[in-house]
Amino acid sequence: MKQLKVALIGNPNVGKTSVFNALTGLNQHVGNYPGVTVERKIGTATLAKDTKAHIIDLPGVYSVNPNSKDEEIALNAIFDASNKDFPDVIVVVAEVENLKRNLLLFTQVKDLGFPTILALNMADQMEKKGISIDVPALEKALDTKIVLISARKNEGIDELKQAVLNYSNYNTNSVFDLKSIDESYFTLLGHLYPNQNPYKVWLTQTGVFQFEQLSPVVSSSSTVQKSETELKKLQQRETIKRYQFINKILKDTYKIDTSKATDIRMKFDRILTHKFWGYIIFFFVLLLIYGSIFELAAFPMDFVDGLFADLSSWTSANLPEGKLTELLADGVIPGLGGVLMFVPQIAILFFLISILEETGYMSRVVFIMDRIMKPFGLSGKSVVPLVSGTACAIPAIMSARNIENPKERLITMLVTPFTTCSARIPVYIIIISLIIPKTYILGFVPLQAFVMTMMYVLGFLAALLSGLVLSKIIKADRKSFFVIEMPTYKAPILKNVFLNMYEKVVSYVVGAGKIILALSVILWFLGSHGPSDTFGNAEEMVAEKQMNERLTERLTEEQLASEIAGYQLEHSYIGIIGRTIEPVFRPLGYDWKISIAVLTSFAAREVFVGNLATLYNLGEEAAEDETKIIDRMANEKRADGTPVYTVATGISLLLFYAFAMQCLSTVGVTKKETNSWKWTFVQLVFMTAVAYVAALIAYQLLK
C-alpha cells in the first residue's frame, strides 16, 4: 500500500486539531518529537484502497520564523529533509474569517517548494459572517489547490482527502517574488545559489534553519554579509511586502458584507472579560465543574470502588492459596482500584474543560488573568504555564519557553508547580469526600465543590505570592508584554471533546497504572514479610500478649486472626519503615500508613489513594472482606480508638498536597528547563517547607 506523509500546519485557533480529528478519527496517538519533550499528534487516514496517509498535526505557528523553542522544533519537521516526519504534501489550515493573517504562513510554506493545499475551515460560518470567496480566482492567484471545509459539520473532508491524493499534480513554484524586498540583494543570492530554492536560501541567511542541501556563502561581498540588524530589517520588509501581496489578491477574491454579518462576539467579550464580572463568572464556572465532579461521578465512583473490593475478595477466595494470590488480592487489585475509581471524575473534568476550550472561553480566562499577574512580578505570558499547569506541571513548565525574558521565564518555571494539577484531584476528592459533609452553601452551592474550587484558588495564590518573593530576589532586566489572540466563539465539536477526554483518561490510567503496579508489588512484599523474630513469630507473640493481659476477654477466632494480621503488618518491613518516618509526619496528624502513602506518592500524586488501598488491605482479618477503600479510610482508627481521618488531619493533608512539589518528574523537567541544580533544589526545598509548615499549623490549630 502506498504511504503518504502529510503535515497539517496553521495559525493557532484555526481549527487545525478539529481537521486532524476529522481526518484520522481514533486512528491517532500522542507522542513527543524524537529527543525532546514537545507533544505531537500523529494519525492515519485512508485516502484510497491502495493509499494511506500518515498525518502529523504540527503545533500552531504564525510564520516560519519561530519565536519559541517549541515552534522551532515543530518547524524542523518541514525544514529538515532527514526528519522522519518530513512531508510529501502540506495542508495549510486557514480560517475564513481571518484569511489575510493566515495567508502569511501559507505563502511562506508554499515558497519552500512543497505541494501545498489550502484548507479553508469554518466554511459553514461564511454566510453568517457575510463572507464570500471567489475560490477559482483565489486558486489561480495563489497557484494552489483550495478546499472549503467545515470540520465542525464534517463537510469537505472527503474533498480534502481527494486533494491530498492528487498532490503530485500541484505546482511547487514560489508564489511570492523575494526580489520585491530588495532586488539587488536577492538577485545576488540567486547568482550565488543557482538552481536552489530562493526562500530556503533566504532562511539560511537569516539563521532560521541551515538547510543541508545548500552550499554556504563563499563570497566576501559586503552586500551579502548583512549584519544582524540589516537582516532583521529585511525580515520586517518581507512581512510587509507579503501582506501587500496578500491584500492585492484578497481585494478581488474576498468580500465581507458587514450588513449581513451577525457576529455577537464583542457583546460576549464585554461581559466575560469584564474587570469585575469576568472573575465572578469564572469562579462560578469552576464551581459548576467541581460540583459536577462530585455529583455526577458519585455513583460510578462507588460502583468501581465496590467492584474492585469484590474482585479482591473473589480472587482471594477462589484462586489457590499462595504468594501470587496474596499479591493479586492484597496488592495489585486494591492498588489499581484506588486509581481506576477516579476515572469518572477525570473524564468529567476534562470533558467540561474541553468544552470551555472548544468554545473559546479559556482564551478569555487567560486574558483576564493577565491583569492579576503584573502586580506580582510575573510576565503576562506566565498565565499560559500557570493555567495549563492545572492539567500537568511538566508541559506547563516547558511552555514557559515562550517567555522571552530569561528571569521572568525562570520565575514562572519555579512557581508553576503550585498550581493544582490533575494528579492531585484523586487526593482532593477522597479527602474532601471524607471530611466535608454533603451540604449546600446559600441553598444551591455544594460545599464539597466550593472546597475543591478553593484548593485551585489556593494553589494559584501560592504561585502568585511566590512569584512576588522571587521577583524581589531575581530582578527582571526588562518588561515583557502579553499578546493573546481571541478566537471566535464556536459551538463545541463533541467528537473533539470526547477525543480529548479519551486521551486524558488513557494518559491518567496508563501513567498512574504503571507506577501503582510497581509500587503495589513493592508495598505488598514489604508488608507481607518481616524479621523472623517478630513478624515470623506473630502468632506466638499475640498469644503471649493475650495470656499476659488476663483481664481481657478471650478473643474469638476472627478477632484473633485480626490481631495477628495487625501485629504482622506493624512488624513487617513496611511497618518498620513507616514507624521510622512517622515521627516526622506525626505533628501533621499522619499515622505511619499515611506517612508511607505520602512519601511514596512523590513518584506520582495520584497513587496516594492506591497506596493506602494496598496498605489497608494488608492488615485485614478476613479474606472475604469486601469493604470499599473510602469506607476503610473512614473506619480507620488510631491506637486510642479515635478516627484517623478527622477534619484536622484532612485539612492538613489537603494543604500538604496543595503546596508540596507535584512529583519526581516535575523535579526532572525543572532541572532540564532551568539547566540548574541550584534552582531545582531551591524549588524543591521551598515548596516542601511551605507544605510542611502549612499542614503543621492547620493540624495543630484544628485538632
Annotated binding site for GTP: 10-17, 35-39, 57-60, 121-124
547 by Cβ neighbours in 10 Å (0-12 / 13-18 / 19+) ranks as exposed
How far apart are the C-alpha atoms of 117 and 237, rounded to whole Å?
A: 26
355: Cβ contacts below 8 Å, ≥ 6 apart? 492, 497
Annotated binding site for Mg(2+): 21-22, 24-25
Side-chain-facing half-sphere of 470: CA atoms under 13 Å: 23
DSSP string, 645-682: S-HHHHHHHHHHHHHS---HHHHHHHHHHHT-HHHHHH
Instruction: Indicate the SS3 state at residue 443.
Output: coil
Side-chain-facing half-sphere of 658: CA atoms under 13 Å: 27
DSSP string, 546-581: HHH-TTSPPPPHHHHHHHHHHHHHHTSHHHHHHHHH
103: Cβ contacts below 8 Å, ≥ 6 apart? 94, 142, 246, 249, 250
How far apart are the C-alpha atoms of 512 and 342, rounded to whole Å?
A: 11
Question: 192-229 burial, b for 16+ CB within 10 Å, e for fewer?
Answer: bbeebbbbbbbbbbeebbebeebeeeeeeeeeeebeee
> How is residue 225 annotated by DSSP?
S
Rg (CA), the chain: 30
Q: Which residues pair with 32 in a beta bridge?
A: 39
DSSP string, 491-553: ---HHHHHHHHHHHHHHHHHHHHHHHHHHHHHHHHHHH---TTTTTTHHHHHHHHHHH-TTSP
**Helices and strands (H, E) in the chain, number of each type:** 31, 11
Residue type, 607: V
How far apart are the C-alpha atoms of 334 and 615, rounded to whole Å?
A: 9
Annotated binding site: 10-17, 21-22, 24-25, 35-39, 57-60, 121-124
